[in-house]
Amino acid sequence: MTTTLRPAGPEERHDDGGRARSYDVCVNSRRVGGIRLTTDARFGPVAGRIEALDIDRPDRHRGRATVAALAAEEVLRGWGCKRIEVSVPADAEAAVRLAAALGYTERSRKMTKPLDVPPELPEASHERRMSAAEYPAWRAAAIAEHIRVQTGLGVPRERAERASYDGHAAMLPDGAKTRGHALRVLSHRGVDVGTLWVAVEIPGHPGGYVIDVTVDPGHRGRGHGRTLMLVAERVCLAAGRPVLGLNAYADNTPALALYGSLGYRPTVYELGKRIL
């Protein structure tokens, strides 16, 4: 039997060079599922994405998804893509195994934790709202770090810069006083040691989200990252949000260990591979 992809609609083209198209997964011309391919909004036309892949239940466990994913790579090569990205729910064990078998590696993971009782902060540690005077320097440093991380992942610098500046402008239009966002400074024994940015009002989401947590270089390795996460949980609960989420990069081993020890569990894996 031959498994192929058959266009299920016209190709979509966008002004920024992006493309998208849906396909039927067929076995000897019989439809057994569907797949949707796009270029990746973050990386641009150089990267493709399997946005959705579903095989009809009677045809599962027969290698259809594997062949469809390999066929998708050929389509994306034809689009000029050099890499391919995919998001896989952490509880989709078959999809996680398939991605690993096809050579995908983890880039980052989304994690969440249900919240109950506000945690106590360690002795001599205190948090306060970020002031308007402190905001410009924090913003400049946060944008620079975001650009550094994104370019390290392979995002073209121009796209990383535009996304960083536009993202901050859109999310924090009123700076440190923006409604639905909490910017905090952590001090220990009277010395500022780190900062925190938590979104507590996200449309369609029941919880808060840690967007940025940073411990100053001279104060790392002393538990302040854990304290900042405790601050995030307190902020989230004070806003009436029973769940807190975050994104952790796969190469940040200390952060992954910290989040795991605090009870955060993966919900989605962001995976990728190069296609030559």
| Angular region, 251: left φ>0, alpha ψ -120 to 50, beta rest | alpha
User: How confident is the model at residue 205, as a pLDDT?
Assistant: 80
Q: Are 120 and 216 in a shared domain?
A: yes
Q: Are 63 and 124 in a shared domain?
A: no
Q: Are 135 and 35 in a shared domain?
A: no
User: How confident is the model at residue 276, as a pLDDT?
Assistant: 78
Domain of 59 in residue numbering reads as: 3-81
Q: Output the average pLDDT for the chain.
A: 95
What is the spatial distance between Cα 222 and Cα 210, in angstroms, rounded to a whole number?
A: 20
CATH number for the domain harbouring residue 154 = 3.40.630.30
* 272 within some domain: no
pTM of the model: 0.92
Residue type at position 61: H
Is residue 203 predicted with pLDDT exceeding 90? no
Measure CA 230 to chain center. 21
What is the spatial distance between Cα 63 and Cα 250, in angstroms, rounded to a whole number?
A: 28
Provide the number of structural domains found in the chain.
2
- What is the per-residue pLDDT across 141-161, written as a single tens digit (0 to 9) for each? 999 999 999 999 889 999 999
What is the spatial distance between Cα 224 and Cα 195, in angstroms, rounded to a whole number?
A: 10
* 93 within some domain: no
Beta strands 83-89; 44-55: pairing state: parallel
Q: Are 126 and 209 in a shared domain?
A: yes
Q: Are 123 and 226 in a shared domain?
A: yes
Residue type at position 246: L
CATH number for the domain harbouring residue 72 = 3.40.630
Find, among 144, 146, 143, the residue nearest to 155 by Cα.
Answer: 146
Predicted confidence band of residue 1 (pLDDT cuts 50, 70, 90) = low
- What is the per-residue pLDDT across 215-236, written as a single tens digit (0 to 9) for each? 999 999 999 999 999 999 999 9
User: Can you tell me the mean pLDDT for 199-207?
Assistant: 87
Q: Which of 131-143 are b and which e, b meaning 16 or more Cβ less than 10 Å from the residue's Cβ?
A: eeebbeebbeebb
* 168 within some domain: yes
φ, ψ of residue 105 to 5 degrees: the values are -125, 150
What is the spatial distance between Cα 102 and Cα 97, in angstroms, rounded to a whole number?
A: 9
Q: Which residues contact 206 (CB under 8 A, 6 or more apart)?
A: 241, 242, 243
